[in-house]
Structure 1
Amino acid sequence: MDKRKVAVPLVCHGHSRPVVDLFYSPITPDGFFLVSASKDSSPMLRNGETGDWIGTFEGHKGAVWSCCLDANALFSASGSADFTAKLWDALTGDEKHSFEHKHIVRACAFSEDTHLLLTGGFEKILRIFDLNRPDASPREVGNSSGSIRTVAWLHSDQTILSSCTDSGGVRLWDARSGKIVQTLETKSPVTSAEVSRDGRYITTADGSSVKFWDANHFGLVKSYNMPCNTESASLEPKLGNIFIAGGEDMWVHVFDFHTGEQIAITSS
Structure 2
Amino acid sequence: MKPILLQGHERSLTQIVYNKEGDLLFTASKDHIINVWFSSNGERLGTYSGHNGSVWSLACDSQSKLLLSGAADNTMKLWDIKTGECLKTWEFPTAVKRVAWSDDDNLALCITEQRSGYQGAIRVYEISHEGDCKNQPDEPITEFSPIGSKATVAAFAPLGHEIITGHESGKVALFDAKTGEEIESNERAHSGAVTDLQLSPDGTYFVTSSKDKTARIHDTKNLAVIKTFTTETPLNSACITPLKPYVIVGGGQDARSVTTTSTRSGKFETRFWHRVFEEEVGRVRGHFGPINTIAVHPEGKAFASGGEDGYVRVHWFDDSYFRSKPYGDLEPAD
TM-score by length of 2: 0.73
> Distance between the aligned counterparts of 1:105 and 1:190, measured in 2?
16
User: How far did 1:255 drift?
Assistant: 2.2
User: How far did 1:218 drift?
Assistant: 2.8
Judge which range, 192-201 or 254-263, deviates more. 254-263
Is the helix fraction higher in 1 or 2?
A: 2
Give yes or no for contact 2:28–2:35 (8 Å, CA) kept in 1.
Answer: yes
Give yes or no for contact 1:240–1:257 (8 Å, CA) kept in 2.
Answer: no
Aligned partner of 1:229 in structure 2 is 234
State the one-letter code of the partner of 1:164: H
User: How far did 1:230 drift?
Assistant: 1.0
1:245-260 → structure 2 map (5 Å cutoff): 245-248=249-252, 249-259=267-277, 260=279
SS in 2 for 1:156: helix
**Deviation by residue 1:102-153 (Cα, 9 ceiling, x = unmatched):** 1000000011111221000214110012222523311334212344321100
> Distance between the aligned counterparts of 1:42 and 1:146, measured in 2?
30
Q: Which structure carries more relative contact order (alpha carbon 8 Å, separation 6+)?
A: 2
Match of 1:136 among 138, 145, 155: 138
**Deviation by residue 1:129-186 (Cα, 9 ceiling, x = unmatched):** 2222523311334212344321100021001012233x11111101122111111322
Name structure 1 gaps, 5 residues minimum: 1-6
> Distance between the aligned counterparts of 1:240 and 1:172, measured in 2?
28
State the one-letter code of the partner of 1:42: I
- Specify the structure having the higher radius of gyration (Cα): 2
Match of 2:207 among 203, 207, 210: 203
**Deviation by residue 1:63-102 (Cα, 9 ceiling, x = unmatched):** 1000110112111111000000000011111111111111
Is the strand fraction higher in 1 or 2?
A: 1
Judge which range, 35-44 or 138-147, deviates more. 138-147
> Distance between the aligned counterparts of 1:62 and 1:56, measured in 2?
15
Give yes or no for contact 1:203–1:234 (8 Å, CA) kept in 2.
Answer: yes
Q: Is 1:193 aligned to 2:189, yes or no?
A: no
User: How far did 1:217 drift?
Assistant: 3.9
User: How far did 1:240 drift?
Assistant: 4.3
> Distance between the aligned counterparts of 1:241 and 1:173, measured in 2?
29
> Distance between the aligned counterparts of 1:231 and 1:69, measured in 2?
21
> Distance between the aligned counterparts of 1:227 and 1:50, measured in 2?
33
Give yes or no for contact 2:123–2:142 (8 Å, CA) kept in 1.
Answer: yes
Q: Is 1:213 aligned to 2:212, yes or no?
A: no
- Size of the aligned set, in residue pairs, is 257
SS in 2 for 1:263: strand
> Distance between the aligned counterparts of 1:245 and 1:76, measured in 2?
25
> Distance between the aligned counterparts of 1:136 and 1:47, measured in 2?
33
> Distance between the aligned counterparts of 2:268 and 2:74, measured in 1?
29
Give yes or no for contact 1:70–1:110 (8 Å, CA) kept in 2.
Answer: yes
Identity rate, percent: 26
Aligned partner of 2:89 in structure 1 is 98
Q: Is 1:41 aligned to 2:32, yes or no?
A: yes
Aligned partner of 2:175 in structure 1 is 173
Q: Is 1:125 aligned to 2:121, yes or no?
A: yes
Note the aligned Cα RMSD (angstroms): 1.7
